[in-house]
Structure 1
Amino acid sequence: MTVALMWEARAVAGRGEELLAWARDQGLSVRPLRRETFRAPGDRVLVITWWDAAYDAELPELPEPEGELVTRPVHRWRFESVEQGA
């Protein structure tokens, strides 16, 4: 089964590039099948990792950024793949 973990944070105004760099620098204890990092208006950063694992498996996740870098707690979601296609 493929499980996708999504991590999304919103930086303090004007610190989006700093949050993006922080997210890129975060290593995981195990390498995922795939990892992508996105940015969006409003200084938001999204990281999605894909894993070959059961839905409820313990998987490494990105931590909360320290200090005053984000405006709210990180949002996290977990999804399981149900089909693939173009």
Structure 2
Amino acid sequence: MTVALMWEARAVEGRGRELLTWARAQTLPARPLRRETFHGSHDRVLVITWWDAELDAELPELPEPEGELVTRMVHRWRFESMGSD
């Protein structure tokens, strides 16, 4: 089974590139099958990691950024892949 973990944060206004740099520099204790990083409107950063694991498996996730880099707590979601079309 493939599980996708989504991590999304919103930077303080004008600090989106800094948050993007921070997110890309984060390492995980295990290597996912795939990792992709996105930068969006309103200084949002999204990181998706794919894992060969069960939906409820204990998996490493990116941490909360320290300090005043983000406007709110990080949002996290977990999805089971249904395949690609």
Taking structure 1 as the reference length, the TM-score comes to 0.97
Counterpart of 1:83? 83
Counterpart of 2:71? 71
Please tell me whether residue 18 in structure 1 is matched to residue 15 in structure 2.
no
In 2, Cα distance between the equivalents of 1:73 and 1:11? 10
In 2, Cα distance between the equivalents of 1:83 and 1:63? 28
Give the drift of 1:82.
1.4
In 1, Cα distance between the equivalents of 2:81 and 2:46? 18
Letter in 2 for 1:15: R
Counterpart of 1:61? 61
In 1, Cα distance between the equivalents of 2:84 and 2:65? 33
Give the drift of 1:4.
0.0
Render the CA deviation track for 1:41-82: whole Å, top value 9, x for unaligned.
100000000000000000000000000000000000000011
Superposed CA RMSD in Å reads 0.5
In 2, Cα distance between the equivalents of 1:81 and 1:63? 23
Q: How many residues align?
A: 85
Taking structure 2 as the reference length, the TM-score comes to 0.98
Segments of 5+ residues of structure 2 without an aligned counterpart are none
Deviates more, 1:33-42 or 1:76-85: 76-85
In 2, Cα distance between the equivalents of 1:28 and 1:52? 15
Segments of 5+ residues of structure 1 without an aligned counterpart are none
In 2, Cα distance between the equivalents of 1:52 and 1:31? 10
Which runs of structure 1 show a deviation greater than 2 angstroms over 4 or more consecutive aligned residues?
A: none
Q: What is the aligned-residue identity percentage?
A: 79
